[in-house]
Amino acid sequence: EVQLVASGGGLVQPGGSLKLSCAASGFTFSTSWMSWVRQAPGKGVEWVANINQDGSGEYYVDSVKDRFTISRDNAKNSLYLQMSSLRAEDTAVYYCATAMGGYWGQGTLVTVSS
């Protein structure tokens, strides 16, 4: 069974940092493009970042470029999202997913507020 378990969300002040993690199992993680996708409360879905299989290629939506960094550790079957300079508009549930959305995790809530 495919599982994507995201963790690391929480309350952070504007300008702060947070690192999300996603533990993957049940599929060949090391050969899969991976994504982070977010959903603000009551809003639609927004793709945030993609990373290729070996981590050599990263792609970001403009609104998070130079603030967020996606990375992976294939030895640990894990995906990460380092978020810095956080803003109120980054408040959302963050999902890890395979890159074309075939599998999704349960999401972790990030709240940016003073």
Q: Minimal CA–CA distance to 53: which of 77, 37, 69, 21?
A: 77
Q: Which is nearer to another protein, 60 or 80 (CB)?
A: 60
Binding status of residue 16 toward another protein by CB under 8 A: no
Binding status of residue 108 toward another protein by CB under 8 A: no
Rule CB under 8 A: choose which of 18, 107, 108, 110 binds another protein. 107
Give the range of 12-20, 67-75, 77-85, 93-101 binding another protein by CB under 8 A. 93-101
* Burial (CB count <10 Å: 0-12, 13-18, 19+), residue 38: buried
Task: Report the site for another protein in 44-63 (rule: CB under 8 A).
Answer: 44-47, 50, 59-62
Torsion sign, CA atoms 64, 48, 33, 4:
positive
